[in-house]
Amino acid sequence: MPGKLKAKIVAGRHLPVMDRASDLTDAFVEVKFGNTTFKTDVYPKSLNPQWNSEWFKFEVDDEDLQDEPLQITVLDHDTYSANDAIGKVYIDIDPLLCSEAATVISGWLPIYDTIHGIRGEINVLVKVDLFNDLNRFRQSSCGVKFFCTTSIPRCYRAIMVHGFVEELVVNEDPEYQWIDRIRTPRASNEARQRLIFLMSGELQRKIGLKVLEMGGNAVVGYLQCFDLEGESGLVVRAIGTACTLEKISTFPATATYPSNSSPSKDMKEPGFGEETPGVPLSSGPPTPLRAQTFSSFSPSKSYSRQSSSSDTELSLTPKTGMGSGGSAGKEAGPLKALLRQQTQSALEQREYPFFTLTAFPPGFLLHVGGVVSARSVKLLDRIHNPDEPETRDAWWEEIRQEIKSHAKALGCHAVVGYSESTSICEEVCILSASGTAAILSSRFMQDGPLDAEHRFEEVVSPGCGFCHIPYDELNIPFPAQLTYCYCCRHYKVPDVLFTTIDLPTEANVTGKGCLIQARLCRTKKKAQGEGNATAISNLLPFLEYELHTQLMNKLKLRGMNALFGLRIQISVGETMLLGLASATGVYLTALPSPGGIQITGKTPSDITYEQHISNMQKKINDTITKNKELYEINPPEVVEEIIGSPIPEPCQRSRLFRSHSESSDEVSELDLSHGKKDAFVLEIDDTDAVEDIHALLTDFSIPAGFYSCNTEIMPGIQNWTSAIQMFTSVRVFRLNNANLTNQGLNKIFSDLCENLLKSLYFKLRSMVPCCLCHLNFTVAIPEDELIQVAVTAVAMSFDKEQSLENGKQSGEKTLIKAITDEQLQFNLELNAETSSSNPLSSPKGITMEKASPLPEGRSRSLRSNRSYSGSSVAVVKMTPLSFIPGAKIIRYLGIINMFFIRETTSLREEGGVSGFLHTFIAEVFAMVRAHVAALGGNAVVSYSMKECVFMENPNKNQAQCLINVSGDAVIFVRESELELTSVQPQSATTQTSNCGEGT
């Protein structure tokens, strides 16, 4: 009996009128946990009842505490007939189970009904007394912290990164049970909501257990999804990265930026203490080749090799067939021999060396190989035994194996920025996984080897290291052009780099970035069963190929050479497949300048045709020039600027082995005169290509003052103001004409996305200059002839002038944000070191803490007077990012993971589909905010809407929608408030402290 849950029902307000005669309500409340139910007294004839109940106490196992939500039902008492339900509140107890998270849930929570929406609010108090349970065989995992954030949370530092955790649970979907024919829609919806709550709780508990087994205490980058498989069941699955985190207790230096700022110094001891001094990369029989690589690299300042390109994923992935996920095995076959010879790091011995993180502690990510992805098409069958979800497990296993082998083929031992998704249509399901092949430092790996080299390098990590190819240039698994790094001149880099991760903060970037999307629609025949699955499998490679080509063209058109945050979504419908690839394009200084796009015609004889082509060519060239200006891409003339080391020796080697790979002929490493040579050739041989180019050129240009990206931050933009606006926008487009060509569909789909973006810019015009960050598009085909696009993002204003008068502030922000300036970065590192070794730093921390209470308290009270005077509702910020500009997150209160269903049988009366969904989304936001506020928080970070399933039947005047949202509830404090406290005591050590805070 290791836990006691206590709940108190205080009051209600704004209740709906339940008794038409009196225009009042006789409300009472049922409080249910597990199988125990308590009731309050009836508070007669009031819309604002004051129950002030006793404490209802539930004595329960902590296992139940993790699985079950506290269920609060508000009812209207009726003497003569059954009591009418007003609505429910589900409260996730999980945040109370962790000592570092919230301690009490207290506040006004919306009372929600799946048919009527929010119906008033209820004020509750919930607490948990947890007794310590030292039972080794326990089934609970209380105390394991969960974070949606895909980086190390701001006020923690990573001691250890243990690796991949995954779990899935399955059940029958209540909506498809026989009983659903006789029960009301409300009962059915509530059964579903409750079931998903339970399953999420169970899933989280099971993952927690795995984490404890691995010796961790937290899951970072926790990604939970559910698959509505219809008849065949309901799957809730989750992946994440197990870590051992330590709360940063000292107030000061590590202020804002990826928390573990200076891990190399302060955390080395605990981290390395347990490391076995094995030699990782040479534990296997080292090939002479590898060895050589190493010896030549090690003395130099930075990491070894580099990374890849996109082409990878192209050539490797598409071969997904139904029932067999292992296609890559075949492709990678020739490589295997070689790979086997290669050294295996400890990482490779893990089952899945995957990491859901997209941003990393400095020095953790060494090299990036490129995007790896795998898809497989499956036919759903009924899940017979919910306790043994083996088929689904096996499916994912196949996919993960494939990903792993792709990564190996790129010479990488790990996959970062890893994610999984599904798309279901009737009985066909596409499973997808993608990530970025990478080589990681062993520093955060418990069982990882001690890699002397890397430890060395970490101290000086220039912004180009991660670009250096990790694979052997002689055995490139795909055609690529390699050149010497434009930063360090020592190592090879690919011509383009595609990744699924965020832009590393230390990366050297030229100019600004922008959102790049490839959109594609492919029609397919209606089919059933295996035939359908085969047809889809056959289409997938083409889809991916074309998406890739589009991405590449658009990237070149913008004069950029790398993509971050790449997310390819493929959605399946009955008569079409949709593909949407989104990423943020940037110009990595380390990579060669991209060549232009050159188009050629197939029939040169025709003069008008020639004319046409040359016109187009001109247009393309103009666009590239314009874009370069727009995104401020003026790469330095590298050759002259770089000192010394013209052509290092390794190139000879590569020449020797030239014949080895097909790509070798275009490698031409000696040609350092940069990129013009490799103009991308587009051949116009049919109308398709013409259309494509047209589409390319007609992409809408962003209005002045706006920037957009789908990553956390935008390179080249600093000094964010505190104005942020998170939003969700959903559009559904109906194709009335069934006989559309692929081109026609493409155009429609592309226009849909473009128009959506245009509307966003218009909506947010008052925030200019501003950047739309973390633009997350999801597409779906809810039914035949419907295309649904949903976007969640945050708009953040920034100051145009990097005003020097508040140099401190902007300085800090500069450091928080993408660090493009090497000088700055150098400072930062230097100071990180000095501050940790410097005795001055600790007294500083103390004085600051001492100084803080007074001014901070004052400023807070001032602020609260000002901003809350008019309303009793606290403001809760929401953002899909892991941070809040100009603020410091001081505490994580727990994960928010909420699932809601809303249904209506009076669609017209609620303002049609738009009115219905608008209200529902607003209600979901309101409920998220209320729950965060009840936990004591004032913001949600890493917020995402993972599911928005919308179904309608206008003829019946009905609609239904399911929404799943998640995020991390946090408490943040404005930096301006902190500043008051920190400025004075620091005056003596201004320089250090400035930089210290930035770190």
Residue from 98, 878, 884, 893 that binds other proteins (CB under 8 A)? 878
Kindly state the smallest distance separating residue 913's Cβ from other proteins, in Å.
4
Q: Which residues pair with 716 in a beta bridge?
A: none
Question: How many Å apart are CA 44 and CA 58, to the nearest integer?
Answer: 27
> Given the complex with other proteins, which of 403 and 935 has the nearer CB atom?
935
Question: How many Å apart are CA 691 and CA 41, to the nearest integer?
Answer: 70
Report whether 436 contacts 369 (CB < 8 A): yes
Q: x-or-dash pattern for other proteins, window 12-41, by CB under 8 A?
A: -xx---------------------------
929 binds other proteins (CB under 8 A): yes
11 binds other proteins (CB under 8 A): no
Interhelix angle 807-816/975-986, nearest 10 degrees: 120
> Given the complex with other proteins, which of 52 and 766 has the nearer CB atom?
766
Report whether 996 contacts 835 (CB < 8 A): yes
657 binds other proteins (CB under 8 A): no
> Given the complex with other proteins, which of 828 and 907 has the nearer CB atom?
907
727 binds other proteins (CB under 8 A): yes
Residue from 209, 735, 881, 907 that binds other proteins (CB under 8 A)? 735
Stretch that binds other proteins, among 343-351, 407-415, 628-636, 867-875 (CB under 8 A): 867-875
Residue from 105, 630, 781, 876 that binds other proteins (CB under 8 A)? 876
Residue from 35, 295, 605, 736 that binds other proteins (CB under 8 A)? 736
Residue from 575, 721, 742, 755 that binds other proteins (CB under 8 A)? 755
Stretch that binds other proteins, among 457-465, 548-556, 724-732, 770-778 (CB under 8 A): 724-732
Q: Which residue has tokens 């966003």?
A: 760
861 binds other proteins (CB under 8 A): no
Least Cα distance to 925 among 905, 939, 904 occurs for: 939
> Given the complex with other proteins, which of 121 and 473 has the nearer CB atom?
121
733 binds other proteins (CB under 8 A): yes
Kindly state the smallest distance separating residue 911's Cβ from other proteins, in Å.
6
758 binds other proteins (CB under 8 A): yes
Interhelix angle 529-557/687-697, nearest 10 degrees: 50
Residue from 786, 949, 980, 983 that binds other proteins (CB under 8 A)? 786
Q: If binding means CB under 8 A, how many residues of this protein chain bind other proteins?
A: 57
Question: How many Å apart are CA 19 and CA 77, to the nearest integer?
Answer: 10
234-247 vs 576-588, strand pairing mode: unpaired
Stretch that binds other proteins, among 580-588, 648-656, 761-769, 978-986 (CB under 8 A): 761-769
Q: Which of residues 662-721 bind other proteins (CB under 8 A)?
A: 703-704
> Given the complex with other proteins, which of 691 and 785 has the nearer CB atom?
785
Kindly state the smallest distance separating residue 734's Cβ from other proteins, in Å.
5
Kindly state the smallest distance separating residue 731's Cβ from other proteins, in Å.
5
Q: Which of residues 794-813 bind other proteins (CB under 8 A)?
A: none
CA atoms within 13 A on the CB side of 370: 31
SS3 per-residue string spanning 308-351: CCCHHHHHHCCCCECCECCHHHHHCHHHHHHHHHCCCCHHHHCC
Stretch that binds other proteins, among 92-100, 153-161, 588-596, 753-761 (CB under 8 A): 753-761
Backbone angles phi, psi at 29, to 5 degrees: -130, 135
911 binds other proteins (CB under 8 A): yes
Report whether 247 contacts 156 (CB < 8 A): yes
If phi over 0 gives left and psi between -120 and 50 gives alpha, with beta otherwise, what is residue 35?
alpha
862 binds other proteins (CB under 8 A): no
Kindly state the smallest distance separating residue 701's Cβ from other proteins, in Å.
9
**Number of Cβ within a 10 Å radius of residue 299:** 8
> Given the complex with other proteins, which of 285 and 911 has the nearer CB atom?
911
DSSP secondary structure letters along 458-489: HHS--TTGGGSBBS-GGG-SS---EEE-TTTS
> Given the complex with other proteins, which of 694 and 763 has the nearer CB atom?
763
Stretch that binds other proteins, among 223-231, 400-408, 829-837, 863-871 (CB under 8 A): 863-871
908 binds other proteins (CB under 8 A): no
Residue from 37, 759, 803, 976 that binds other proteins (CB under 8 A)? 759
Q: Which residue has tokens 């409340």?
A: 29
Report whether 122 contacts 31 (CB < 8 A): no
Question: How many Å apart are CA 336 and CA 320, to the nearest integer?
Answer: 19
Report whether 703 contacts 575 (CB < 8 A): no
Least Cα distance to 509 among 560, 459, 558 occurs for: 560
> Given the complex with other proteins, which of 586 and 874 has the nearer CB atom?
874
If phi over 0 gives left and psi between -120 and 50 gives alpha, with beta otherwise, what is residue 638?
alpha
Kindly state the smallest distance separating residue 20's Cβ from other proteins, in Å.
16
Stretch that binds other proteins, among 83-91, 426-434, 607-615, 909-917 (CB under 8 A): 909-917
> Given the complex with other proteins, which of 303 and 761 has the nearer CB atom?
761
CA 732 to mean position of chain CA atoms: 24
Number of H helices, E strands in the chain: 24, 31
Token reading at 732: 């559904």
514 binds other proteins (CB under 8 A): no
Is the bond preceding residue 769 a cis peptide, omega within 30 degrees?
A: yes
Type of residue numbered 743: Q
> Given the complex with other proteins, which of 365 and 732 has the nearer CB atom?
732
444 binds other proteins (CB under 8 A): no
User: What helix, strand, coil percent values describe the chain, rounded to 5?
Assistant: 35, 30, 35
Task: Give Rg (Cα) of the chain.
Answer: 28
Residue from 748, 824, 949, 980 that binds other proteins (CB under 8 A)? 748
Residue from 35, 79, 687, 737 that binds other proteins (CB under 8 A)? 737
> Given the complex with other proteins, which of 484 and 925 has the nearer CB atom?
925
> Given the complex with other proteins, which of 541 and 915 has the nearer CB atom?
915
- Check residue 687 and report its DSSP letter: H
Q: Which of residues 103-122 bind other proteins (CB under 8 A)?
A: 108, 110, 118, 121
Stretch that binds other proteins, among 71-79, 276-284, 802-810, 870-878 (CB under 8 A): 870-878
Residue from 142, 223, 586, 917 that binds other proteins (CB under 8 A)? 917
Length, in residues, of the chain: 999
Task: Show the beta-strand stretches assigned E in 40-155.
Answer: 55-60, 69-76, 84-92, 105-113, 117-130, 145-146
b/e map 789-809, b = 16+ CB within 10 Å: bbbbbbbbbbbeeeeeeeebb
Question: How many Å apart are CA 127 and CA 897, to the nearest integer?
Answer: 19
Q: Which of residues 947-976 bind other proteins (CB under 8 A)?
A: 950
Residues near other proteins (CB under 8 A) are 13-14, 108, 110, 118, 121, 703-704, 725-737, 748, 755, 758-763, 765, 786, 788, 867, 869-873, 875-878, 911, 913-915, 917-919, 921-923, 925-926, 929-930, 950
